[in-house]
Copies of this chain bind each other. A is one copy, B any other.
Amino acid sequence: MSEPLTLGVAGLGTVGMGLIQLLEAHAERLEKTLGRPIRVTGVSARSRGKARDALIGDAQWFDDPVALAQDPSNAVFVELIGGEEGPAKDAVEAALKAGKHVVTANKALLARHGTALARLAEAHGVALNFEAAVAGAIPVIKTLRETLVANGVRRVYGILNGTCNYILSEMTDEKRDFSEALREAQEKGYAEADPSFDIGGFDAAHKLALLTCLAFGTTVACDEIHVEGIETITRADIEAAAELGYCIKLLGVAVQSADGIEARVTPVLVNEESPLAEVSGVTNCVGIDADFVGNLLLVGPGAGGKPTASAVASDIVDIARGIVMPPFIRPTDRLAPIAPMNLTSHQGNYYIRLSVYDRPGAMAAITRRMSDENVSLESIVQRRPGAVHPGQPDEPPPGAAEAAVTVIILTHDTTEAAIRAVLQAIEKDGKVAEPPQMIRIEEL
C-alpha cells in the first residue's frame, strides 16, 4: 500500500464538513480503489469553535490558511473559503507557489484570476482542479476538459444558479410573485439575505466564464459576459410565456457565432417541450452542443454540502491517480483572448410585453415601428386588464392613471439591434405606460 495522499482543507462550512464526512464514510472504498488512503492532515477556518473537533480528528489546526497552504505536511491544498480576493486568493497562490496541487470550489476567484492562477499551476507542474466551482455535482468540468477535447463546441449553456431557478419555478408552479418567491427562497436557505449577487445573474456569469473558457479555448474573461438578472420578470411574463408554450429560465449561454463568442446570462424563454423546462427548483443543468458528440445534457444538484463535497472529492481522486493537466485544457499561452462582443448582433426570436395606453391608433403605431425595422411578428395578443370595463370611455377621469392594456408580441428571427431600435421608438412615441419588457427566446 502506497503512502497516503495528504490534504490541507481551508474552510469548514457545509462543503468543508461535507468533504470530511465523505472522506470518512468512503475511506475504505477510496483506499481499495486508489491503492492509497486519503488523509486530512491540516485544517483552517474562520473560527476554531466552528470546526467540530470530533470530525476533524487529529488534523493540525491552522489559524492562517496561508500557513496551511505552505505547510509541507499536506500535498494537496483544498480551498473552500470563497471570495475572489483576500485569504482565498492568498492561500491558493501560496499553495501553487509551494508546488502543491490545489482543489477549489471558488468560482469567483477563478472567474477573476483563473488565467493567472492556471499559469502559476502550469509553471509548477501541479493540478488546479475546480469541478465544484460550476454546477455543483454535475461533472461538467471533466466533460469539457476530457470527454470533449476532440470536439468543436458550438454552444454551451445551462441553468447555473439554483436560487434563480427556484424562484422562477415557484413563480411558475405556485403562481407566486417575484418578491414572495424570493422571500420563500430566503426562508429555505436557497437565497442570501442580500440576494443581489444571485438574482442579478452575477453568480451564473462567474460559472459561465469558466465554461466559456473551457469550451472555446479562451482566457477567462468574466467582464465580457452580458448579464441581466431575473428581478424584472413578473408573473405576467411567466403566465404569458406559459400560454405560448414556453417557460422562463435564467440561462447562461456561450455560443460561437460568425462575429466571435457571444456569452450572456439572461432570462430566456425556453420551449416547454425542452428537457430544460423540466429542470426545476435548485437543480442545475448544463448542455453542450458540439460537432461530433451532438447534444449532451447533464442534470444534477447545483449546490449543497454533500453534492459539492462529492465534486471536490472527484478532483482529489484525480490527483491521487496522478492525473495532472492544464487547468483550462491547453497551456495558458495557447488560450486566445476573448474578444468583447456587443450583443446587438445577437440573432433570434424575441418575446415583448408592452403596457400600451388604450387609445385609438396605439397598436398601429407599434406595428409600424416594427415594420420600419423589418421585425416580423409571429404572434401578437392584446389583453384588456380586469380593471377596464367594456363601455368605459377612452379617456380616464382626471387624476386617475390612464388605462393601459397588455400586449404580448413574439417576433420571428431578427437582430437585437433591430429590437432595441423598435422598443426605443415605441417608448419615444409615448404609447406605453411603462418601459417595455424584452426577453430573448432560446432555441434548444
Query: What residues of chain A have their CB less than 8 Å away from a CB belonging to chain B?
Result: 18, 22-23, 25-26, 29-30, 32-34, 131, 137-139, 142-143, 146-152, 217, 273, 275, 278-279, 290-301, 304, 306-307, 309-311, 313-314, 316-318, 321, 323, 325, 329-330, 334
Contact = CB atoms under 8 A, between A and B. Distances in A.
B150 A146 contact: no
A143 to B, nearest CB: 6
5 contacts: A30-B149, A33-B329, A34-B149, A150-B313, A321-B325
Given A32-B334, A33-B149, A275-B275, A306 B323 contact: no
A137 B150 CA distance: 12
Contacts of A330: 32-33
A146 B145 CA distance: 13
Contacts of A143: 139, 142
A146 B151 contact: no
A258 to B, nearest CB: 19
Contacts of A275: 275, 278-279, 299
B318 A294 contact: no
B318 A146 contact: yes
Contacts of A137: 292-294, 296
A310 B29 contact: no
Given A26-B152, A147-B310, 11 more contacts: A22-B150, A23-B150, A25-B291, A131-B147, A139-B146, A147-B314, A292-B310, A296-B299, A297-B300, A299-B299, A321-B323
Contacts of A304: 294
Nearest to A334: B32
B151 A310 contact: yes
Contacts of A150: 22-23, 26, 29-30, 310, 313-314, 316-317
A18 B292 contact: yes
7 interchain residue pairs of minimum CB distance: A150-B313, A292-B310, A296-B300, A139-B147, A297-B299, A293-B310, A294-B301
A18 B29 CA distance: 38
A34 B304 CA distance: 34
Contacts of A138: 296
Contacts of A33: 149, 329-330
A83 B273 CA distance: 38
Contact of A306 (B29, B142, B292, B311): B292
A313 B292 contact: yes
A295 B300 contact: yes
Contacts of A294: 137, 300-301, 304, 306-307
A290 B138 CA distance: 13
Nearest to A21: B292
Which residue of A34, A147, A148, A323 has the most chain B CB atoms within 10 A of its CB atom? A147
A293 B142 CA distance: 15
Contacts of A151: 26, 310
Contacts of A23: 150
Nearest to A150: B313
Contact of A317 (B142, B146, B298, B317): B146
A40 B3 CA distance: 39
A215 to B, nearest CB: 12
